[in-house]
Amino acid sequence: MDVLHIETSNKTYPVYVGQNAIALLPDFLKENNAFGSSILIITDESVGHLYLQTLKDTLSDIEKEVYVSIVPSGEKAKTFDVYYSCLTRALEFNLNRKSLILALGGGAVGDLAGFVAATYMRGIPFIQIPTTILAHDSAVGGKVAINHEAGKNMIGAFHQPEAVFYDLNFLATLPLHEVRSGFAEIIKEALIEDPDFYSWLTTNIHSMDLIDMDQLAFAIKKGIAVKGGIVKQDEMENGVRAYLNFGHTLGHAIENSVGYGSITHGEGVMIGMVFALKLSIKYAGLNFDLTSFINWVTSLGYKTKIPSSLKAEQLIYAMKKDKKTTGREITFVLLAEEGKPITKTMADDEIITEIELMFENKS
């Protein structure tokens, strides 16, 4: 079992990573007497079917009331209606300001449950229990949110968890597209911060369905360490934390434009990363073998072109609606070198020219 520590301006919390990490949860709760007498587990339909009973069994010996709220799977969980229903459940169960929320699920459940915790009675504690690779990124750092039809994660808060219990056994049932979605964020973290880790990835990872547990554990821990280091410097995204958005400006726009759930987050981000790498080579002087990168990620099952059903102007509109955009121009995270991200603001006509070269029907 590995324990990483995430440091922010006002708290430090542990991230337990390993097989059967969930077994450490009861002792953690007993050692932290500040938590009240009631717990609300928020999980989704799919994860609940697989792992809710495991979590309830783990909690069977603690002297607390345990309640459950089941929400839809995926991005359908991150709506106003579902958020409101979770608050209603919390009120029905008489949760108080010392009650605890457990987020059992992927990134969507973690975002939703964290936002419920951030806003219920002006903020109550919560713990992240990720069940996807993608959630290695979203479970750490305290950004919690729900979506609006105008954009992803537009309504949210910064609310750090009390701990993260990352049980690798929960990853065993992930479908291949979810493995791929989560691994895109690991590739992103390597590119923006750790060239040696990026080299390890390209040398050792050749198939998404042949990754062994040791490789996966190593990659996840490296990704969390990158995320934690950046969060320590900039908890509220006033500076370097924006570098974690590498690939996300266009990626979120694609997600929003095709409809949440039609493409996974990681698949959208991968297309956005290819786009950002192209811009980096052209506008930031990056020396990078983009052809080899595209061949590698394509062999892992990623698409690297924008869906032909979309239009450049549509994506520009979506990017300007993104919460990361300020003013009328769009800012991208680029790489000056591997491990050295920068930001660059670009005019619409420049972006449209580059986007037009990225569609599926373009060579």
Q: Which residues are documented as binding site? A: 73-78, 107-111, 131-132, 143, 152, 170-173, 185, 248, 265
Nearest Cα neighbor of 9 from 241, 216, 334 is: 241
Binding residues for NAD(+): 73-78, 107-111, 131-132, 143, 152, 170-173
Token pair recorded at residue 219: 């990659």
Binding residues for Zn(2+): 185, 248, 265
